[in-house]
């Protein structure tokens, strides 16, 4: 398992119905591309976050397939329209099988 993998998200606490809110996400992860060689000359095995998803109250908002060219600590920012209160569920999938999750509540008036 990669060390110090910590997901974090930033979502406004409240919004008005139909408003488009800015969602920011970041996960600390080395994103080892599999193309680099270590000091011993051997390839360092690939280990990346290969998929990131965000759902709102169970409905998919974004589903991203990530390739090895994405840099360390992948950061995604996107807008999401919210019609009702609920929770965003974020999931990151690691090459090594680990799955990291985070949720954020938003109150819609």
Partner 1 sequence: MTGKTLLGGVAAAGLAVGVAGIGFADIRTGDSLVINGDLAMITEAPAPEFLQDRVTTIYSGWVFRTDETRAMQADDFDNPAMLYAEQGLTAFETAMGSEGKSCASCHENAESLAGVRASYPKWDAEHGAVQTVEMQIIECQTERMGVAEPYGYDSQAMRNMASLIASVGRGQTINVAIDGPVAETWAFGEEIYYTKYGQLELSCADCHENNYGNLIRADHLSQGQINGFPAYRLKNANVNSVHGRFRGCIRDTRGETFAVGSPEFVALELYVASRGNGLTVEGPSVRN
Residues that bind partner 1 (CB under 8 A): 4, 6, 8, 10, 24, 26, 28, 71-73, 75
Comparison of 6 and 60: residue with beta carbon closer to partner 1: 6
Comparison of 1 and 59: residue with beta carbon closer to partner 1: 1
What whole-number distance in Å separates Cα of residue 72 and Cα of residue 18? 34
The partner residues of 108 in beta bridges, in order of sequence, read 15
What whole-number distance in Å separates Cα of residue 54 and Cα of residue 19? 17
Least distance CB 75 / partner 1 (angstroms):
8
Instruction: Enter the tokens of residue 24.
Output: 């920011």
User: Residues 25, 52: contact at Cβ < 8 Å?
Assistant: yes
Least distance CB 91 / partner 1 (angstroms):
19
Comparison of 8 and 57: residue with beta carbon closer to partner 1: 8
């Amino acid at each position: 398992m990669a060390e110090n993998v910590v997901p974090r998200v930033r979502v406004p606490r409240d919004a008005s119905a139909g408003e488009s809110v800015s969602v920011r996400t970041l996960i600390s992860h080395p994103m080892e591309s599999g193309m680099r060689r270590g000091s011993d000359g051997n390839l360092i095995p690939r280990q990346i976050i290969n998929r990131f998803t965000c759902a709102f109250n169970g409905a998919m908002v974004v589903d991203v397939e990530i390739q090895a060219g994405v840099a360390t600590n992948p950061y995604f920012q996107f807008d999401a329209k919210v019609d009702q209160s609920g929770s965003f569920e974020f999931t990151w999938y690691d090459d090594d099988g680990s799955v990291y999750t985070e949720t954020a509540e938003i109150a819609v008036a």
